[in-house]
Amino acid sequence: MKCPFCSNQDTQVVETRVSEDGDFIRRRRQCSSCEKRFTTYERPDVNFPSIVKKDGRRIEFERGKLIASMKLALRKRPVSTEQVDAAIERIEEKLLNLGLREVQSTRIGELVMRELKKLDKVAYVRFASVYRNFEDIDEFRTLVDEVNR
């Protein structure tokens, strides 16, 4: 595996761990050139459904986009990386369990909102206010009131 710091091809595995639920393997690697350490994750290669956007375009599911949107909503919030990883795993598992070849992007948005609501209510409101494209303050107030119940 190529080192992300110096691009050297020669890296060694120094530690290997299986996740608690057995879904992936975590490997700590060290570069033989710059001696920096980094982590890789090994997961089974599965076929996620295609995502149908609001305008009808079909795109491949990208885990990175899911991570980025959740991290943006959770920016400066007291939620651990492990909690975010677990939420992403639950979303991916739900997508796979649907058994569909295509999924509307709105369905993924709803799954993200459900997970964010469990993790952090402020992050949930942040995501929902952008995702639902609020037109006025009353829609925002309704969402905040819903969270406070």
Residue-range domain boundaries for the chain: 11-42, 50-148
State the pLDDT confidence band at 59, using cuts at 50, 70 and 90: very high
**CA separation for the pair 105, 65 (Å, rounded):** 12
| Number of residues that this document lists for the chain | 149
State what percent of residues in the chain have pLDDT above 70: 99
pTM over 0.75: no
Helix (H/G/I), strand (E/B), else coil: 59: strand
Tally the C-alpha atoms within 13 A of residue 131's C-alpha that lie toward its C-beta.
22
pLDDT in the model for residue 132: 73
Q: Is the pLDDT of residue 140 over 90?
A: no
pLDDT digits 0-9 by tens, 83-105: 999 999 999 999 999 889 999 99
Residue 87's Cβ-count burial label (10 Å; 0-12, 13-18, 19+) is buried
